[in-house]
């Protein structure tokens, strides 16, 4: 969706009622043997020590406190900057002067609804953390401030105070449940379930499972503020039973551990000329294989997007993921084709997943719970439809190939350079990693997200420099020199204007997980084949931005000086049946010359669907016999005819 400046979130959040205070906790004997932090500790250990000290002070297992914080914020503080839900600091404590958990979409079937006869099916109802209805209140910043007796404002900006407040809330929840302040992490299961204010029992149990799964595995991360934090693995912590399957509308396709609802996109005529919207009926995967999942952000708030998806004159997509808690709403059945990518060819073969957020404000909108819910959904869909979990099949709206040359400038740029693809693929269970040595003729782009902070401008819409932030994108130059001009995209800027550092300018960028053929090397610099030219990026051995990769490449057949690249794979002319007009082929303005190589991860057959009329049944799919290879041509994908290229393995040997 188009980028705008993120608005402030209005509204007032009602806080939870105050539970028993923790004065008595100070009189208890120590329950944890934890090292105390020293006055001479290095500054980058301050947060690590805060977890140790707060766990000791409030008698909460340190592993529980740290894992809850990781699930809330991945230990990032973003001092003074709230999330969309009004959460602050490493514990994501929610302030009362922000809106609370959003209401369900108009017309959506909400989880935790009352059963016939007024009986509640939500077992969390009636507990100390339950508010009106069946929503559990988020961890309150004001309540935490009262428990630790500091001004509430301090918890917004001081990460150490924020951690203390989170520990106090966990201890208060444990005492309210009538449970001891035990040293065993397993004894804190119910307190953990209640901490984030999750509104339904399935999501609450899934959250707790994630917390305890992280305790078992352990974690290490450098935060956005440069803090080094390590949670040691505790493999002996026993897992809890899985969450109960959530009741859901019959149309919803969703993994059992997620609570999902349904808000239909309309399929209806909109005028007397036969125009209709906002999606196409299909019979996938019977009539067309589903090969891609496209990751979007909404560039709007979710209520606005819900209004959009219910408008037959607007676009559509299959799923929406809410920022505040990762709740999922489905709008179009996966068997049908949504209008979401800007390419009819990609729409016919893909599922579109929108994430509430603005690409210029990732710390506010791209929450850990959103990442986790989205990854669970995508993993479920990829398994169901046999979609490979790589970056040529699970990609951003900004990677969708433009169908024609004149459509390139209009293609979208979300979810942008701050979407954490490395973390996302970790959550998918398909980690991005080196598959060959550093001298391999192929590389995968893989910077360290937390420490890789290229300069961007335009986050506030005024050309000013963006606040430094971890990024998945690596910038490309015309020479191995950071003072050299940036690579230009002749399709995106046909008038010859230079590429810029604007956050939405894709003309000189590659993205984490994308794989390219090496064109040259010079000292700390690596060149790749990119849109028909050599493009250079800095890749020092001490802090690499790319790693060795293995796989297959294509190169023009011997005797061909150059070959065309396409934004879609269309059938050959004689494949179209009588009555279906042939779609005109339109090469992209990029030329692949002899000797150049591009990475491919799959072949595709040509296809076309003429869905230009309103009908009660899907239109037939025209299937061609000619084969294509999908390639990583630049920031976006493209297609080349199989008859135009030779297929090579990593070592340049012909592959069959």
Max mean pLDDT among 66-80, 126-140, 192-206 falls in 66-80
pLDDT in tens, 633-653: 999 999 999 999 999 998 778
pLDDT in tens, 462-487: 789 999 999 999 999 999 999 999 99
Q: Which residues contact 620 (CB under 8 A, 6 or more apart)?
A: 287, 577, 580, 609
260-553: same fold as 23-231?
A: no
Q: Which pLDDT band holds residue 320 (cuts at 50, 70, 90)?
A: very high
Contact in structure between 506 and 542 (CB atoms under 8 Å)? no
Asked if residue 650 has a cis previous peptide bond (ω within 30° of 0), the answer is: no
* DSSP letter for each residue of 169-214: HHHHHHHHTT----S-GGGGHHHHHHTT--SSHHHHHHHHHHHHHH
Helix (H) / strand (E) containing 518: strand 515-522
CA 25 – CA 446 distance, rounded (Å): 46
Contact in structure between 258 and 328 (CB atoms under 8 Å)? yes
Contact in structure between 542 and 448 (CB atoms under 8 Å)? no
Contact in structure between 580 and 616 (CB atoms under 8 Å)? no
pLDDT in tens, 91-142: 999 998 865 444 343 444 433 332 223 323 322 232 233 332 334 567 999 9
Bridge partners (DSSP) of residue 599 are 553
Instruction: For residue 350, give the nearest of 325, 377, 375, 385 by alpha carbon.
Output: 385
Q: Which pLDDT band holds residue 1 (cuts at 50, 70, 90)?
A: low
Average pLDDT over residues 234-245: 77
pLDDT in tens, 550-575: 999 999 999 999 999 999 999 999 99
Q: Is the confidence at residue 537, as pLDDT, over 60?
A: yes
In this structure, whether the domain defined by 260-553 belongs to CATH 3.30.230.30 is answered with no
What is the torsional sign of CA 369, 373, 376, 378?
negative
What is the torsional sign of CA 297, 303, 304, 310?
positive
pLDDT in tens, 7-44: 333 333 223 332 333 333 333 333 333 444 444 457 88
pLDDT in tens, 269-314: 999 888 999 999 999 999 999 999 999 999 999 999 999 999 999 9
Q: What is the pLDDT of residue 644?
A: 97
Q: List phi, psi (to 5°) of 23.
A: -60, -40
Name the packing angle between helices 159-176 and 62-73 (round to 10°). 110
Q: What percent of the chain has pLDDT over 90?
A: 75
Q: What is the pLDDT of residue 493?
A: 86
Tokens of residue 500, six digits: 């810029």
Report the length, in residues, of the chain. Answer: 656
Q: What is the pLDDT of residue 234?
A: 96
Q: Is the confidence at residue 83, as pLDDT, over 70?
A: yes
Contact in structure between 391 and 627 (CB atoms under 8 Å)? no
CA angle 625, 629, 630 (to 5 degrees): 125
Q: What is the CATH number of domain 23-231?
A: 1.10.530
**Residue boundaries of the structural domains of the chain:** 23-231, 260-553
Give whole-number Cα distances, 297 to 228, 302, 311, in Å. Answer: 29, 10, 19
Give whole-number Cα distances, 329 to 65, 106, 120, 251, 259, in Å. Answer: 31, 12, 22, 11, 9
Name the packing angle between helices 421-428 and 368-385 (round to 10°). 50
Tokens of residue 227, six digits: 């803090």
Q: Which residues contact 485 (CB under 8 A, 6 or more apart)?
A: 477, 478, 498, 499
3-state SS class at 265: coil
Q: What is the pLDDT of residue 114?
A: 29
CA 54 – CA 70 distance, rounded (Å): 15
What is the torsional sign of CA 16, 21, 26, 32?
negative
Average pLDDT over residues 577-592: 92
CA 185 – CA 190 distance, rounded (Å): 11
The b-or-e profile of 221-250 (16+ CB within 10 A means b, else e) is bbbbbebebebeebeebeebeebeebebee
Strand-strand pairing, 328-330 and 260-262: parallel
CA 365 – CA 30 distance, rounded (Å): 39
Place of tokens 């952000």: 297
Q: Is the confidence at residue 151, as pLDDT, over 90?
A: yes
């Amino acid at each position: 969706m188009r980028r705008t400046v993120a608005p402030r979130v209005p509204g007032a959040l009602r806080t939870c009622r105050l539970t028993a205070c923790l004065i008595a906790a100070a009189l208890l004997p120590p329950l944890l043997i934890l090292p105390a932090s020293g006055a001479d500790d290095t500054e980058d250990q301050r947060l690590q020590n805060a977890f140790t000290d707060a766990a000791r002070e409030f008698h909460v297992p340190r592993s529980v406190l740290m894992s809850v914080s990781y699930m809330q914020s991945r230990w990032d503080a973003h001092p003074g900057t709230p999330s969309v839900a009004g959460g602050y600091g490493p514990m994501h404590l929610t302030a009362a002067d922000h809106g609370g958990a959003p209401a369900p979409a108009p017309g959506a079937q909400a989880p935790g609804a009352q059963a016939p006869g007024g009986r509640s099916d939500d077992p969390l109802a009636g507990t100390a953390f339950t508010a009106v209805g069946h929503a559990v209140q988020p961890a309150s910043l004001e309540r935490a401030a009262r428990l630790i007796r500091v001004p509430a404002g301090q918890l917004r900006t001081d990460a150490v105070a924020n951690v203390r407040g989170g520990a106090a809330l966990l201890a208060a929840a444990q005492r309210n449940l009538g449970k001891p302040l035990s040293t065993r992490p397993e004894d804190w299961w119910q307190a953990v379930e209640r901490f984030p204010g999750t509104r339904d029992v399935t999501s609450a149990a899934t959250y707790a499972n994630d917390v305890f799964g992280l305790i078992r595995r352990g974690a290490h991360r450098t935060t956005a503020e440069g803090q080094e934090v390590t949670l040691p693995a505790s493999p002996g912590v026993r897992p809890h039973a899985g969450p109960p399957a959530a009741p859901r509308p019959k149309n919803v396709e969703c993994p059992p551990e997620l609570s999902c609802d349904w808000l239909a996109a309309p399929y209806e005529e909109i005028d007397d000329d036969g125009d209709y919207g906002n999606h196409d009926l299909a019979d996938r995967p019977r009539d067309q294989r589903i090969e891609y999942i496209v990751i979007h952000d909404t560039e709007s708030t979710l209520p606005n997007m819900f209004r959009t998806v219910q408008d037959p004159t607007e676009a559509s997509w299959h799923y929406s993921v809410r920022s505040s808690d990762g709740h999922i709403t489905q709008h179009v059945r996966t068997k049908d084709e949504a209008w979401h990518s800007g390419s009819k060819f990609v729409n016919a073969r893909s599922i579109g997943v929108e994430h509430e957020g603005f690409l210029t404000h990732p710390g506010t909108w791209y929450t850990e719970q959103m990442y986790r819910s989205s990854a669970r959904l995508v993993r479920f869909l990829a398994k169901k439809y046999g979609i490979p979990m790589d970056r040529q099949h699970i990609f951003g709206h900004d990677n969708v190939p433009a169908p024609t040359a004149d459509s390139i400038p209009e293609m979208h740029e979300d979810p942008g350079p701050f979407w954490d693809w490395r973390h996302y693929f970790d959550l998918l269970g398909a980690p991005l990693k080196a598959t060959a040595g550093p001298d391999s003729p192929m590389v995968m782009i893989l910077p360290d997200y937390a420490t890789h902070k290229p300069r961007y401008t335009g986050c506030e819409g005024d050309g000013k420099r963006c606040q430094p932030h971890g990024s998945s994108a690596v910038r490309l130059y015309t020479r191995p020199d950071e003072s050299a001009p940036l690579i230009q995209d002749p399709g995106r800027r046909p008038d010859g204007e230079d590429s810029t550092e604007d956050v939405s300018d894709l003309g000189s960028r590659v993205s984490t997980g994308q794989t390219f053929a090496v064109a040259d090397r010079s000292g700390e610099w690596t060149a790749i084949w990119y849109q028909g030219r050599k493009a250079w990026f800095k890749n020092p051995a001490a802090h690499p931005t790319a790693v060795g990769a293995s796989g297959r490449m294509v190169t023009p057949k011997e005797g061909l000086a150059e070959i065309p690249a396409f934004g879609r794979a269309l059938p050959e002319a004689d494949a179209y049946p009588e009555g279906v007009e042939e779609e005109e082929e339109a090469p992209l303005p990029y030329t692949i010359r002899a000797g150049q190589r591009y990475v491919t991860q799959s072949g595709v057959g040509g296809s076309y669907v003429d869905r230009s009329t309103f009908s009660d049944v899907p239109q037939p799919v025209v299937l061609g016999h000619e084969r294509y290879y999908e390639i990583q041509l630049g920031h976006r994908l493209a297609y080349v005819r199989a008859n135009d290229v030779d297929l090579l393995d990593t070592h340049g040997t012909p592959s069959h």
